[in-house]
Structure 1
Amino acid sequence: METISPEAGAGAPRGLKGVVVTDTALGDVRGTEGFYHYRQYSAVELARTRTFEDVWHLMLHGTLPGPAERAAFGERTAALRHLPAEVAAALPAIARAGAVSGPLAGLRTALSLLGAASGFRPLYDTGPDGRRDDALAACAAVPTLLTALHRLGRGEEPIAPRDDLPYAANYLWMLDGSEPDPIRVRAVEHYLISTVDHGFNASTFTARVIASTGADLAACLVGAVGAFSGPLHGGAPSRALDTLDAIGTPERIDPWIRERVLAGDRIMGFGHPVYRTEDPRSRMLRSIAEEFGGPLVEFAVQVEERVEAILAELKPGRELHTNVEFYAGVVMELCAIPREMFTPTFAAARAVGWSANILEQAEDSKIIRPAARYIGPPPAQPVPAA
Structure 2
Amino acid sequence: MPTIETGDPVDVPRGLAGVVVTDTALGDVRGREGFYHYRQYSAVELARTRTFEDVWHLMFHGTLPDAAERADFAARTAALRHLPDEVREALPVIARSSVLSGPLAGLRAALSLFGAAADLRPLYDLDTDRRRADALAVCAAVPTLLTALHRLGQGLAPVEPRDDLPYAANYLYMLTGEEPGPRQARAVEQYLVATVDHGFNASTFTGRVIASTGADLAACLVGAVGALSGPLHGGAPSRALDTLDAIGTPDRIDAWVRAQVLAGRRIMGFGHAVYRTEDPRSRMLREIAEGFGGPLVDFAVRVERRVEAILAELKPGRELHTNVEFYAGVVMELCGLPREMFTPTFCAARAVGWSANILEQAEDSKIIRPAARYTGPPPPQPVPAA
Normalising by structure 2, what TM-score?
0.97
What displacement does 1:377 show? 2.1
SS at match of 1:29: strand
Question: Secondary structure at 1:371's aligned position in 2?
Answer: coil
Q: Does 1:27 align with 2:27?
A: yes
The match for 1:144 is 144
Q: Which 4+ residue blocks in structure 1 deviate beyond 4 angstroms?
A: none
1:241 touches 1:329 (CA, 8 Å); kept in 2? yes
Amino acid at match of 1:198: H
- Paired residue type of 1:200: F
Q: Map 1:265-304 onto structure 2 (within 5 A).
A: 265-304=265-304
Identity %: 82
Q: Distance in 2 between matches of 1:359 and 1:113?
A: 21
Task: Sort the Cα spacing of 1:373 and 1:4 in 2 relative to 1 into closer, same or farther, 3 A.
Answer: farther
Find the counterpart in structure 1 of residue 3 from structure 2: none
Q: Name the CA shift for 1:66/1:183 in 2 (closer, same or farther; >3 Å).
A: same
Structure 1 unaligned spans of 5+ = none
Q: How does 1:1-386 map to 2 (within 5 A)?
A: 11-386=11-386
RMSD: 1.3
Contact preservation (8 Å) 1:77, 1:137: yes
Q: Which amino acid in 2 is paired with 1:131? A: R
Shift of 1:267: 1.0
Contact kept, 8 Å, 1:4 with 1:373, in 2: the verdict is no
CA displacement, residues 267-299 of structure 1 (integer Å, 9 cap, x when unaligned): 111110100000000000000000000110011
Aligned-pair CA distance for 1:73: 0.3
Q: Which amino acid in 2 is paired with 1:260?
A: Q
Task: Quote the Cα distance in structure 2 between the aligned partners of 1:309 and 1:15.
Answer: 31
For residues 326 and 147 of structure 2, the distance between their equivalents in structure 1, rounded to whole angstroms, comes to 23
How far did 1:81 drift? 0.2
Contact between 1:4 and 1:372, CA under 8 Å: does it hold in 2?
Answer: no
- Once residues 266 and 380 of structure 1 are traced to their aligned partners in structure 2, the CA distance between those partners, rounded to angstroms, is 45
Q: Give how far 1:384 is off.
A: 2.9
Counterpart Cα distance in 1 of 2:266 and 2:377: 35
8 Å CA contact retained: 1:4, 1:374: no
Mapped partners of 1:118, 1:169: distance in 2: 25
Contact 1:112/1:222 (CA < 8 Å) preserved in 2?
yes
Tell me: higher relative CO, structure 1 or 2? Use CA pairs within 8 A at least 6 residues apart. 1
Aligned-partner Cα distance in 1 for 2:105–2:336: 22
Which residue type is aligned with residue 61 of structure 1?
A: H
Shift of 1:218: 0.1
Q: For residue 39 of structure 1, what is the amino acid of its counterpart? A: R
The answer on whether the counterparts of 1:235 and 1:343 sit within 8 Å (CA) in structure 2 is yes
For residues 357 and 363 of structure 2, the distance between their equivalents in structure 1, rounded to whole angstroms, comes to 10
Give the letter aligned to residue 162 of structure 1: R
Q: How many residues align?
A: 381
Deviates more, 1:171-180 or 1:19-28: 171-180
- Offset, 1:234: 1.5
Distance 1:194 1:158 in 2: 27
TM-score of the superposition, structure 1-length normalised?
A: 0.97
Task: Work out the CA distance in 1 between the residues paired with 2:301 and 2:232.
Answer: 23
Structure 2: how far apart are the matches of 1:284 and 1:229?
25
Q: What secondary structure does 2:380 align onto?
A: coil
